[in-house]
Chains A and B, each alone.
Chain A
Amino acid sequence: MGNIEALDRRQFLVTTAVVGGGFSLGLTFGTGEANASLEAPWGKTPAAPEFTPWLSIAADDTITVRVATPEIGNGVMTQAAMTIAEELGCDWTKVRCEFAPPARNLAENGVYAKAGAGLAYFSGRSTVEDRLQLGLQVGASARERLKTAAAQQWKIPVSGVEVANSVLTHKATGRTLTFGQVAAKAAGVKLAQEPTPKPQEEWTLLGKKSVGKINNAAIVNGTAVYGMDVILPGMLYAALKQAPVHGGKLKSYDASKVEKMPGVVAVVVVDPEAPLAELKIPFGMANSAAQHGIAVVAEHYWQAVKALEALPVEWDSGPGGQWKTTSQVYDAARKALDKPGSKVDKEAGDIASLDRQPKIVEATYLTPYSEHAFIEPLNGTALVTADGVEVWHPSQHSENGLWVAAHEAGVAPEKVKFNQTYVGGAFGRRVFGNDLRMVVAVAKKVPGRPVHVIWSREETTRQGRYRHMIAARFKAGLDADGKPQAFLARSASTPGLSGAGLLNTPFAGGQIKNVRYESEMLPLHIMTGPYRGPSYNSYAFMMETFIDECAHACGADPLAYRLKLLEGWDDEGWAKTLKEVAAKAEWGKKLPKGMGQGIAIANWGGNGKPKTGTTVAIVALAEVTTQGALKVHQIDVAFDTGRIVNQDAVHTELVGGTIFGLNMALNEELTIKDGRIVEGNYDTYPTLKIGDIPKINIHFGALTGHDRFAEVGEPPVGPVGPAIGNAIFKATGQRIRQMPFRKLDLAWA
């Protein structure tokens, strides 16, 4: 190999294939061959016979499964393919996936999902429940068509054809055909009746085999294309700054100071108040609103970064500037709890009976704003032309993204092409497309060339849509037996969160007869949004710490107390997870002073209804030195999702969710100074590393087998914190009522 000159990229890349009528650009590969096999998870299907919009089979036997849900690391892509493979009878190594284009959904009248349909369609989260029947039917219907086509070719009855490993066999003669050899004919076969998928008991893949992620190979060789990795012919880069106080405005800037810097193409202002053309949109757009911002667009990323740094900019803080410190915010939240909340989320029985109970327990809790802190910073690429807009984005909701792009670019939705890339973590942050709107807002000012807009890590952190700050006060009246007869909950949070998340327990679902849940909204400017297990991630901590406080108030063992509270609850999964985790963690074993076990249980997705959602019980083993240094030694997890389809995938998600919950409880807090978020990078927003991780044991023995496949990504996030907090109490006698624990003084003597 001779020297390869690093020519200006545009000189190289004009050769890129133009697909689909001159509007769709392919990915390009920089210099040399290194990236020639980039794995772009969209729009690369060669023309192949299509059975349904979800499935094509090519002559070379390649099976393409189209997945509507973005892959955010939770394995939905693999899951979608597995479900179809269960019925199809294919060779798993021939299966590949790409993301279903939302533009096709629009053009073909909702072939994938009704526009604006439930989150689980084009939005990244667990999909087993929603997609199970669909995937099985797609697989079964395609298999029957393949069999029919083979039978027709052999002139035999269909019953004589067997299917395995992508091969059709005529039992009697041993003749064979591959899927690819009959796919073209099979795709056109009309069946008198669609087949019925086999019953669960006969599954051979789902629930039976652990299948690794189908995109693992592309991940480990570096070819998987995340949003950050998009490179296009003639592409420009933009570095972006948004108003540092959320809701603030751009006051002044001096573009002349940077316009002549090398590579600078434009200085672009994003003004959310600039009017947009009317568009009838099937989604709420409030959460995707643009923010005031300014970007430098340049030929190369580093040129854009340097010019943005050099650009003189002044901001107006707006109303958010009044919040000078974090404690001012927390004080306001706690103060709101002193009077009844203006909204009543639930009331049942007679709350006035609370004060007549022999024992009263009352406590106040607080959880802070937290940032998603995924490793791929916010970014996206857009090309705006006279014909429309094409975007490449690590979205958590690709269909929403299509509409955001249309709205911001001022074009009809049919003029948008949305390319879903891989996503370097999302955790709820990338659902609403406010990031994509900023991308299009910048790119439309530089039409004709694709612009890749990148937020620095600091901007990503400071311009988040955070886990809500929540303060809550709980009060319970316990009867002579120690059982809560009445429960009053008051919570204060910020716009976008309802106190209703607190109802996600059996206690709201009838286990306590007299309840009142009130909530209050504070007029805070800090932007919030879904964060892994929205609101549950705070309320589970508060509720399960409070239950521990009640147990302690009546001298009961925390495990025995919880089991007592669950008596009569119409879902044995709760007691089962508690018993399983307690047995496996050797609950109650003798420990030296300064060490303690804590237990907690919570349910995500059940909305206070039995046999719904995922129940997770955790026992944590923690140690606190007399100086207050905290070490979590071990976390045991038991859970009930009803049933599972991929044991290894469930295991890895539960471990990941547990670590996420651990970091949230121990480390995470965004603080405020003069209305701005202080933390910017991982040095000030610490994240656990490999050496900080306790032993984590996932126990499968609590599965009830109830007929549901509830999700596992979010549920563990809830009970980790309270289990550790309760362990700290056991070890030191200090009750933990606030996150993050690293900022608490845990010293004891």
Chain B
Amino acid sequence: MAVQLTVNNQVQNVDADPSTPLLWVLRDHLGMTGTKFGCGLAQCGACTVHIDGIATRSCQVPLEAVAGANITTIEGLAVNSDHVLQKLWVEMNVPQCGYCQTGVLMAAAALLKQVPKPTDQEIDLHVSNICRCGTYPRIRAAIHKAAEMMSA
């Protein structure tokens, strides 16, 4: 039985084991590899997507739970990938290996939608992704700068 969901404004019918995590539905069944596998245990945040606007770790969400849901992945975060965060990430040279960064960007984008001018504490709370390369200071600086630019 295919499950219907909407990914980046496209309706998709996915015929897969209903226990398949959304992460692997995206990567393996839909071929969208911008959403990363890191831990499979809600620890690292590399798999973060927006489900009905809420930043969610997609490794924890089975396919059967997202029937009818509206999902946004890094591929659909902004037309031409020109979200202010993406632009600042390049400008401020945030990534090192880069593997964690799409998940970080999805968490940060959801935060800015919810809290247009987040405090350091709000960033700590909402962007709890793991970056083993240690890009955290630049992530924080870029989020603050994005908040400033968006409110200007």
Residue pair B36, A376 in contact (C-beta under 8 Å)? yes
Residues of chain B contacted by A31 (CB below 8 angstroms): 12, 30-31
Residues of chain A contacted by B96 (CB below 8 angstroms): 73-75, 652-653, 656
Q: Which of B24, B44, B75 contacts A221 (CB 8 A)?
A: B75
Residue pair A425, B97 in contact (C-beta under 8 Å)? yes
Residue pair B102, A222 in contact (C-beta under 8 Å)? yes
Check if B81 is an interface residue, CB within 8 A of chain A: yes
In this complex, what residue of B is CB-closest to A685?
B43
Residue pair A374, B24 in contact (C-beta under 8 Å)? no
A interface majority secondary structure = loop
Residue tally, chain A, CB below 8 Å to B: 77
In this complex, what residue of B is CB-closest to A226?
B99
Give A contacts to B, CB under 8 Å: 1, 3-6, 9, 28-32, 34-35, 38, 72-75, 210, 212-213, 215-217, 219-226, 228-229, 231, 237, 262, 300-303, 306, 372-377, 422-427, 454, 456-457, 648-649, 652-653, 655-660, 681-683, 687-691, 693, 696
Binds A, one of B50-58, B121-129, B144-152: B121-129
Given A6-B12, A6-B30, A34-B31, answer yes or no on A262-B17 (Cβ-Cβ < 8 Å). yes
How many whole Å from A624's CB to the nearest CB in chain B?
Answer: 22
Q: Which of B34, B43, B120, B138 contacts A681 (CB 8 A)?
A: B43
Residues of chain A contacted by B89 (CB below 8 angstroms): 216, 219-220
In this complex, what residue of A is CB-closest to B143?
A690
How many whole Å from B11's CB to the nearest CB in chain A?
Answer: 5
Given A220-B90, A425-B132, answer yes or no on A1-B34 (Cβ-Cβ < 8 Å). no
How many whole Å from A378's CB to the nearest CB in chain B?
Answer: 12
A-B contact pairs, 30 of them (CB 8 A): A6-B29, A30-B32, A31-B12, A34-B31, A34-B76, A73-B96, A212-B90, A221-B86, A222-B33, A222-B75, A222-B102, A225-B33, A226-B99, A300-B17, A300-B24, A301-B24, A302-B20, A372-B132, A374-B132, A376-B38, A426-B97, A454-B37, A652-B96, A656-B133, A660-B133, A681-B43, A687-B130, A690-B140, A691-B120, A693-B137
Residue pair B95, A213 in contact (C-beta under 8 Å)? yes
Residues of chain B contacted by A210 (CB below 8 angstroms): 93
Q: Which of A4, A222, A373, A657 contacts B12 (CB 8 A)?
A: A4
Residue pair B93, A689 in contact (C-beta under 8 Å)? no
Residue pair B31, A9 in contact (C-beta under 8 Å)? yes
Residue pair B98, A219 in contact (C-beta under 8 Å)? yes
8 tightest Cβ-Cβ pairs between the two chains A and B: A30-B31, A222-B34, A424-B99, A73-B97, A659-B134, A691-B124, A219-B98, A221-B81
Residues of chain B contacted by A377 (CB below 8 angstroms): 37-38
How many whole Å from A307's CB to the nearest CB in chain B?
Answer: 11
- Mark each residue of chain B from 102 to 141: 1 if its CB lies under 8 Å from any CB of chain A, else 0: 1001000000000000001101110111111111111110
Residue pair A73, B13 in contact (C-beta under 8 Å)? no
Residues of chain B contacted by A5 (CB below 8 angstroms): 13
Q: Which of B13, B30, B39, B98 contacts A32 (CB 8 A)?
A: B30
In this complex, what residue of B is CB-closest to A682?
B43
- Mark each residue of chain B from 70 to 105: 1 if its CB lies under 8 Å from any CB of chain A, else 0: 000111100001000010011101111111111001
